[in-house]
């Protein structure tokens, strides 16, 4: 199975900060990478698909990028509503596999 | 609009079978794959399997032969059945549409005697 190594596991940040979360794939996944946001008690929400494409309704302060086998989710200017858990997901090869998650919290 | 809703038991005894129904609206099951995912304290988010728009299925080998996914297109429902439950299967079970763009609210399942 393809392993997705997500870092950091916890990210304290302040409102207005630029933050970046990264997933590293254990083998080539092309651009078959999605990012999800999950708030407590809620189901995950698709934020990014195809590594760099913003899902419908997602604010433009979110962006996705790729450098080799490293995939990043960046929030350009953190807002209070962005405090949540974030997960990456690869869908290049079955089974689809998720990263372990990053908890974004206020510093 | 697109909606998905899971229903199922809150509590299941070890060794018993879990049955969850995902009822969808706003789209046709004959046009979209439907995925099942769970979130457990021990392993986080895990893809369990899917049923294709044509009705064939694919499963995560992690669940070996314990898992079965089926559907009733006339009722817009997808079903998950997993047998031989263990305490480690405690978690939230979600259905999601093919491209992960829509998810149900999830159903919490506790495996305990």
Q: What is the pLDDT of residue B65?
A: 87
pLDDT class of A77 with cuts at 50, 70, 90:
very high
Nearest Cβ partner for A46 among B44, B45, B101: B101
Contacts of B61 in chain A (CB under 8 A): 95
Instruction: Provide the H-helix boundaries in chain B.
Output: none
CA distance linking residue B52 with residue B54, whole number of Å:
5
Mean pLDDT, all residues of chain B: 96
Q: H or E element: which one contains B57?
A: strand B57-59
Helices and strands per DSSP (H, E), number in chain A: 0, 11
Per-residue model confidence as pLDDT tens digits over B21-71 = 999 999 999 999 999 999 999 999 999 999 999 999 999 999 978 999 999
Closest CA–CA distance from residue A95 to any residue of chain B (Å)? 6
Inter-chain touch A43–B94, beta carbons under 8 Å: yes
Nearest Cα to A84, choosing from A48, A15, A36? Answer: A36
> Which positions ≥6 away from B70 have C-beta within 8 Å?
B51, B57, B78, B79, B81
Contacts of A44 in chain B (CB under 8 A): 45, 94, 100, 103
Contacts of A46 in chain B (CB under 8 A): 99-101
> What is the token pair recorded at B31?
């046009």
Mutation to test the A interface, candidates B24, B46, B47, most A Cβ within 10 Å: B47
Per-residue model confidence as pLDDT tens digits over A12-69 = 999 999 999 999 999 999 999 999 999 999 999 999 999 999 999 999 999 999 999 9
Per-residue model confidence as pLDDT tens digits over B92-108 = 999 999 999 999 999 99
Which DSSP symbol is given to B45? E
> What is the token pair recorded at B72?
């009733």
Classify the C-alpha dihedral B6-B10-A99-A95 as positive or negative: negative
């Amino acid at each position: 199975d393809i392993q997705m190594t997500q870092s950091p596991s916890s990210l304290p940040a302040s409102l207005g900060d630029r933050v970046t979360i990264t997933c590293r794939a254990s083998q080539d996944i092309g651009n078959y990478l999605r990012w999800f946001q999950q708030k407590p008690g809620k189901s995950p929400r698709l934020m990014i698909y195809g590594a760099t494409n913003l899902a419908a309704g997602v604010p433009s302060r979110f962006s996705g990028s790729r450098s080799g086998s490293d995939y990043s989710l960046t929030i350009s200017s953190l807002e209070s509503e962005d405090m949540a858990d974030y997960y990456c997901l690869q869908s290049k090869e079955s089974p689809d596999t998720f990263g372990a998650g990053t908890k974004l919290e206020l510093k | 609009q697109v909606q998905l809703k899971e229903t199922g038991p809150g509590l299941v005894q070890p060794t018993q079978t879990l049955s969850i129904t995902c009822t969808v609206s706003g789209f046709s099951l004959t046009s979209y794959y439907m995925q099942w995912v769970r979130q457990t304290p021990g392993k986080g988010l895990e893809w369990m399997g899917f049923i294709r728009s044509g009705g064939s299925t694919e499963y995560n080998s992690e669940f070996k032969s314990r898992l079965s996914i089926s559907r009733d297109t006339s009722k817009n429902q997808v079903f998950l059945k997993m047998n031989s439950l263990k305490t480690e299967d405690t978690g939230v079970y979600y259905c999601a549409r093919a491209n992960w763009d829509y998810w149900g609210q999830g159903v919490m399942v506790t495996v305990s005697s």
